[in-house]
Amino acid sequence: MINFQLICDVDNTTISYLQEIAVMEKKYFKSPWTVEMLASSLCSSAVIVIATDDECDDKLVGYGGFYTTGDITNIAVSAEYRGRGLGKSIVDLMIDNAKTLSVDTLFLEVRVGNTIAINLYDKCGFKHIHNRKRYYEDGEDAMIFSREV
Ligand SMILES: CC(C)(COP(=O)(O)OP(=O)(O)OC[C@H]1O[C@@H](n2cnc3c(N)ncnc32)[C@H](O)[C@@H]1OP(=O)(O)O)[C@@H](O)C(=O)NCCC(=O)NCCS
């Protein structure tokens, strides 16, 4: 079974999840967040929804983070767990938790070529508001999405 929980601070338990997130960051993103960056984000108002698989030693299989300012950081699901609704569950939980934390609007940016993520955000009620030219280090444009919570 997949379990979801919210990480709000850094302690002996959560640090091992941050290490697993950093491994996924390296695998799936061109500018990966490190454990230090993740820990520092938690110290400055970020929260992270994590998904773990209890049939696999509670290994981390997905995550999504956002700041209480409304900025979403990164979302990812392990390749072998994709296509079964986990990404949507993580985004929906981020929206629910944002509401609890009195966030008015969530914002995110996504590479124009990342069709799968764009479909996911569309499905979760995000609206495309504008583009940022050459936003990424490799020159790719970003699409900015927002959603009232
Ligand atoms: C984007 C990502 C988180 C989606 O996770 P996921 O668990 O596979 O997504 P879900 O199964 O919940 O799918 C939700 C929706 O996403 C879209 N989607 C998912 N897989 C897709 C695919 N292969 N092709 C097109 N759209 C797809 C669909 O709209 C889907 O809804 P549907 O199943 O009703 O059609 C995952 O692909 C990932 O980790 N990618 C690498 C990291 C990344 O790019 N993160 C986003 C950075 S902005």
CB environment 93-104: b (16+ within 10 A), e (fewer) = bbbebbeebebe
Confidence at residue 13, expressed as pLDDT on a 0 to 100 scale: 87
Let me know if 121 is a catalytic residue. yes
Q: What is the pLDDT of residue 65?
A: 98
Q: How close is the Cα of 12 to the center of ligand 1, in Å?
A: 31
Question: Strand, coil or helix: what is 139?
Answer: coil
Ordered strands of the 46-53 beta sheet: 2-7, 46-53, 59-67, 72-77
Tell whether the model's pLDDT for residue 55 goes beyond 90: yes
Give the CATH number for residue 86: 3.40.630.30
Q: Give the pLDDT mean for 35-47.
A: 96
Structural domain boundaries enclosing 76:
2-148
CB atoms within 10 A of CB 24: 20
Mean pLDDT along residues 86-91: 98
State which ligand 1 atom lies nearest to the alpha carbon of 109.
Answer: 48
Tell me the average pLDDT across 65-84.
98
Strand positions, DSSP E, 54-126: 59-67, 72-77, 105-111
Query: How many domains are there within the chain?
Result: 1
21-32 mean pLDDT: 97
109-145 burial, b at 16+ Cβ within 10 Å, e below that, comes to: ebbeeeeebbebbeebebeeeeeeeebeeeeeebbbb
Name the 3-class secondary structure at 142. strand
What is the pTM for the complete model shown? 0.97
Closest residue by CA, ligand 1 atom 25: 116
Question: What is the model's pLDDT at position 99?
Answer: 97
Average pLDDT over residues 31-52: 96
Residue 72 contacts residue 27 (beta carbons within 8 Å): no
Instruction: Say whether pLDDT at 59 is over 90.
Output: yes
pLDDT at 114: 98
Q: Which of 106, 116, 132 has most ligand 1 atoms within 8 Å of its beta carbon, as the pocket-test mutant?
A: 116
pLDDT at 127: 98
Binned at pLDDT 50, 70 and 90, residue 116 comes out as very high
Task: Tell me phi and psi for residue 12, to 5 degrees.
Answer: -60, -30
Active site residue 109: yes
